[in-house]
Amino acid sequence: MMQKYSDKKLPKVPKPAVPIITVPRFELTEFAPMMAAMTKPVNGAPKTFEEMDMGWGTMMYSTRLPEITSQSVLTGEFHDFAQVFIDKKYIGKIDRVKNEKSLTIPAVKKGAELIIIVEGMGRINFGRAIKDFKGIVGNVTLSTETDEAELVLTPKNWMNVAIPDDYQTAVKALDMVKSLNDQVAAGKVKGSVPGLALAQGYEGSKELADIMKPGYHRGYFTLKKVGDTFLNFETWGKGQVYVNGHAMGRIWSIGPQQTLYIPGCWLKKGRNEIIVLDVVGPKEAVVWGQDKPELNKLQLEKSNKHNAIGDKPDLNSATPVPVYGNTVAATSSVAVAKAGNGWQTFKFQAPQKGRYLAIEVLSTQKQGDRVAIAELYLQGQDGKRLSREPWKTKYANSEEENGNHLGDKVFDLQESTYWQTERSAQAPHLLVIDLGSVQTVTALEYLPRAEQGAPGSIKDLRIYIY
């Protein structure tokens, strides 16, 4: 390709400095839980990475809960990937990439320990996002409903522990646990002693608490000759990799990249060390080297929600549909809905053609309400309602999964069901519907919730057809 832009013959492509090699499958047998790398705890309100003077890594937050007799919803701002445990049992995760901000947790007894492990996933160094703090940002609340009232609890007394993700921290944790393992094997440590659970690792132990699965894995592979290779990590969860002390990159089972390029200049003849910090825990602690990369293998987790970031439309340059008689001002693109129950119709000033309907909700009739929509219809050129049989929810920035208030409830033929945003989600809210094919539409019909006062009713919104 470059030759056609030069009037002189280009030199030959130089030979590779080293060959590409493969590495047979090997197991990482040494293990230390992340808890082995904990720094001195700081008590008080949840602290960010910045308040703990940590630029990157992981934070562990723990607190004791009062008795909660029914399931509750835990909400908060977690930057960026949070795992939630109750009494060291894994409950679920809250992934910022998927716009998740809440998680349903079961009833708990008084004194139950809530642990939240939050990993920072990188930073943006320009624009407004430069002030993106990591860890728990703001209060964590637990909300539960009784027949009499809604209760919102905000734990105040937390233990904050920083876990740096550098190579030295990993080696220190692994060596500490290895030393304790050696003492146990030699019979120098007997009975129940602090730290014994760390020494036993989790391999082969079905009874060990879930909290022990995130951690450091170390193994070795031997080379007769040095070369570039691509180490495969598709059996692992989420974390990062060090080879012979060099940080090689981050891994995540979802892909699409499943391999890391390892330059031959950082390998050596004989034994090579590899350490993997996996904040989730692997399916199998094995690695192998390939002669080519694996760059297009998605292993996405199944979810009922419609929050895949790749499905979110870029509406920055899109023009909202102007409607008759329902705008803030004659020149405004913001439509205004009426308060109260019953159907409302937004008539478009001109027919619109497109396959997707996007509704951007800017505010609700009652400040602080979660957005709720019971039903939606679109009218065709003849003024009649279009069939909703081919409709599918393409994207929703927030959906309350507890109670099944997902986006598809706005076209399920049941006025008693509704799409509703999560309690902690902040406006604007976006719901995108795939109409199944390109349609010409002239109006949008909207029905708020049927309960008295129509809770969650829309006030200001923008409508897009594209």
pLDDT tens digits, 320-334: 999 987 655 444 689
pLDDT of residue 147: 66
pLDDT in tens, 65-87: 999 999 999 999 999 999 999 99
Answering whether pTM is above 0.85, one says no
pLDDT of residue 145: 77
Confidence of residue 190 (pLDDT cuts 50, 70, 90): low
Q: Give the pLDDT mean for 163-178.
A: 94
Instruction: List, in sequence order, every residue forming a beta bridge with 420; answer none if it has no partner.
Output: 372
CA separation for the pair 78, 57 (Å, rounded): 14
Q: Give the pLDDT mean for 290-296.
A: 96
pLDDT of residue 325: 72
Contacts 24+ apart (CB under 8 A), 322-328: 322/348, 322/349, 322/350, 323/347, 323/348, 323/349, 323/444, 323/463, 324/348, 324/349, 328/460
Q: Which of 187-191, 217-221, 353-357, 411-415 has the lowest mean pLDDT?
A: 187-191
Handedness of CA 126, 240, 45, 85 (dihedral sign): positive
Residue carrying the six token digits 């090997």: 26
Q: Is the pLDDT of residue 422 over 80?
A: yes
Instruction: List, in sequence order, every residue forming a beta bridge with 137; answer none if it has no partner.
Output: 77
Percent of the chain with pLDDT over 70: 94
Q: Which of 90-94, 250-254, 308-312 has the lowest mean pLDDT?
A: 308-312
pLDDT of residue 193: 43
Tell me the backbone φ, ψ of residue 160, rounded to 5 degrees.
Answer: -105, 125
pLDDT of residue 194: 43
Average pLDDT in the chain: 90
pLDDT of residue 208: 56
